[in-house]
Chain A
Amino acid sequence: MPPPRCLHCSRPPALLRPRCGSPLCRGCFVRRFEAEALRSLAPGSRPPAPGPGATVAVAASGGKDSTVLSHLLQRFAPRLGWRLALVSVDEGIAGYREAALAAVRRGRGSPPLLVLSHRELFGWSVDELGPALGPGSRCTFCGVMRRQALERAARLLAADWIATGHNADDIAETVLMNFLRGDVARLRRTATEATGGTGDPTGTSRAVPRCKPLRHAYEKEIVLYAYFQGLEYVSTECVYAPQAFRGHARALLKELEAARAPAVAALGHSSRRLRVGAEGGGRVLGACRRCGFAASRELCKACVLLAALERGRPKVGLGKRALEG
């Protein structure tokens, strides 16, 4: 069998795209990758994307996804008519975040950069949770607080949208993880959000809408793109990652990808088309009684977790019972 050639230009290929197996050379791959990212932001795309004139806060962690994301968005912003700002959240994890933040600062380009830290916002850094939480996993705290930190940053910057670097692998891992944990509420939410429904018919939601331009890009391709473009990023794994439940889902995903590459995209498709039953009804997003940010109950999750911490009962709000409703 003759060696494969790039689909478009017949040069020797640099990779076989995992999603569909097509061979592409370096130049064509870079062009295709950028074109696809741009297309996922085109007006009228599902889910909706920011329109011209929008201010978009780009969540930049210094990792590969957000570095590629911020690189791409800075290139596209003039064409799309967006105003960009970078947001970085310092969770206070020693040995993980400092190097990444330094990379963000170095590579930021022209948009303004806002750095918020968990310690400033909530009074607790993730490292400090250790003594209070005991041997439990900190991912819930870190993630919930980071989400709110992004929210606050977006408000401070008067941003209309938040763009995050979630890639196809992240989305696939999330659906696997939610299935493994039995988190039906999240499964339902992912399905509705992906099709553009915000689950918020009255439009009174307090949450800044999100977009994920890299949602169809495989992690492999993001790394390759960053390599080809010489982008600098930090790829240390979070210190607490080994304890995370996501690790199981990630291990499964990597095996699935090795067995059949389109499985990652297929998982994304499945997550969008899941039909979750009506019981355990979805909640409309209201405002948290304590801090005013988006909440599906009286108190937002961040406030619940923080209140529990203050009272010395950090496990409230975690675990199985917390998943109900």
Chain B
Amino acid sequence: MGISRDKWHKRRKTGGRMNQMRKKRKFELGRPGSNTKLGPRRIHTVRTMGGNKKYRALRLDTGNFSWGSEAISRKTRMIDVMYNASNNELVRTKTLVKSCIVQIDATPFRQWYEAHYASPLGRKKGVKLTEAEEKVLNKMDNASKKLKKKYEARKKLAKVEPALEEQFSASRVLAKISSRPGQCGRCDGYILEGKELEFYLRKLKTKKGK
């Protein structure tokens, strides 16, 4: 128990030193960071104060990511760590922390979009699609009138912002981790959109430029 989270080692507001009143106690303990990396899943459980559990993720590769504007979540593979606001070293060593930007595999989201709106998303021109995908996109051909009406109504809201659509064409979407992998053992997050996406794209560009 070397790391301690006590207050009595610090000075007072007036600047005066505090005399040590007691030794380090167990309830003041701190544990070393998890530094969870990108890789095949490895999670250790820790027994915490009160007998509760914390799931220390040491290696993770999948997470549950949500697409805010469409209000859906899908479990996807994480491919690479792109940006970390605190430390470039964490990007280099591919460390997963809350609020780092990762690239995730976009196929589950594309599959959902094409099934929900029956229109292609991020498909390059001239690339042939497999039979299953063709069936999903063209299901409107043999549909009943009522079904067609439903999908026509959905088509009104089917537009995706251009910056995001570009990412879908490469099947790699940028997302931000919003869970704490060293505490809950999961790496969940949300797909970057709008101003946030613009901000991080700009940051990535200047980093690549350097």
Q: Are A and B physically bound partners?
A: no
